[in-house]
Amino acid sequence: MDSTSSVPWNLFPGLIVWRRVRFLGSGSYGAVYLTFLTNFNELNHLLAVKTSFLALSTSLFKEKRVLANLGDCPEIIVCFGHKVTVERGMQLYNLVLEYAPFGTLSDLIQTFILRDINIRIYTTIILKGLRYMHAKGYVHCDLKPDNILVFPSDQRGCYRVKIADFGLTKEPDEVIIPDDYKNRFRGTPCYMSPESVVLGQIGPALDIWSLGCIVIEMHTAKSAWHVLECTPRLDMVHLLASTKMTPPIPCAVTEIGRDFLRKCLARDPRERWTARMLLNHPYVSEV
């Protein structure tokens, strides 16, 4: 276990003092930096800090709130706390998270040809995270390889993965208005489900559809819809709203894997299997 995983930073966030090491990336929420704890040097611990202007930090506030309720799940990224700082007269909101030294699942997909056994292991881990999240009433809404982080593992030839980036998550008490087009495009187009696009329905089945797209991407190193060259938002909306198509299943996928994907990618969300059901499917249960 990480040397700081058991430290309840959220109980005394004022004690967290860090030094930025390098810029890691950015998104709609702000920027992410690799940082080093300067007041707990004996821990020799690297952290990832998401930073946004305080006035524009709604997404990070939500992510902190969600992670505070999902912190008991080993398949979900750890949040160590949050802190408001001042730089050049500007107030910044900082979300302190565990650092993933091997990047994202997207990086892994683009770097290595994943073996079937590895794909099944990563799928199992993601499903366990989804089962926990859905049981508590949360829907991730933007599940994709970029939002799954990669960590070292004791298992040779494999890694641990964790679900991250909860800024778009639907919370248990959040009301979604189907006619609100903003909510229909809460996630990333090529991972969105038909019902979320056409009807604005956002439920656990959306994450399962996204998982099916991710499994295909792990097999092919390309978007689940790449054979149709259809990734722009408007094209995806037309595809999902005007046809009955589902992402093509690669020929190289075993029959048991094909059956698993069919359970994930059923057009009707009522026919899509839940995370709990899928964990009993032989594609993952026999790993």
Which residues sit opposite 36 in a β-bridge? Answer: 19, 46
Domain of residue 235: give its range. Answer: 105-285
Q: Is 2 part of a structural domain of the chain?
A: no
Q: From CA 159, how far away is CA 153, in angstroms rounded?
A: 5
Say if residue 36 is in the same domain as residue 122: no
165 and 86 both lie in a single domain: no
Give the count of domains, the chain.
2
Residue 45 sits in a domain whose CATH number is 3.30.200.20
Vertex 123: Cα angle to 62 and 203 (nearest 5)? 45
Burial of 177 from C-beta contacts in 10 A (0-12 / 13-18 / 19+): exposed
List phi, psi (to 5°) of 169.
Answer: -60, 140
Of the residues 53, 78, 98, the one at which a domain ends: 98
Are 71 and 115 in the same domain?
no
pLDDT digits (tens), the chain, 287 positions: 333 333 444 434 555 677 888 889 887 778 999 988 776 554 457 889 999 999 989 999 999 999 999 989 999 999 988 989 898 899 999 999 999 999 999 999 999 999 999 999 999 999 999 999 999 999 999 999 999 999 998 877 789 999 999 999 999 998 877 555 544 557 888 899 999 988 889 999 999 999 999 999 999 999 998 876 655 665 777 788 788 889 999 999 999 999 999 999 999 999 999 999 999 999 999 88
- Kindly name the residue from 72, 142, 146, 179 that is annotated as catalytic: 142
**What contacts 49, CB < 8 A, 6 or more positions away?**
18, 20, 32, 33, 35, 94, 95, 96, 97
Q: Kindly list the distances between the CA atom of residue 172 and the CA atoms of 133, 148, 276, in Å, as whole numbers in the listed order.
A: 10, 22, 18
Q: What is the pLDDT of residue 42?
A: 46
In a domain, 269, yes or no: yes
Q: Is 62 annotated as a binding residue?
A: no
pLDDT at 227: 72
Last residue of a domain, one of 41, 64, 98: 98
What pLDDT was estimated at residue 218? Answer: 97
- The reported pLDDT for the residue numbered 220 is 96
| Domain assignment of residue 198, yes or no | yes
Which of 70, 98, 126 is where one domain is finished? 98
Q: Is 259 a catalytic residue?
A: no
Q: Where are the beta strands (DSSP E) in the chain?
A: 18-27, 30-37, 46-53, 79-87, 90-98, 148-151, 160-163
CA dist 254 to 109, 114, 212, 245, 249, Å?
19, 14, 14, 21, 10
In a domain, 1, yes or no: no
Residues 79 and 175 in one domain: no
What per-residue confidence (pLDDT) applies to 234?
59
CATH number for 255 = 1.10.510.10
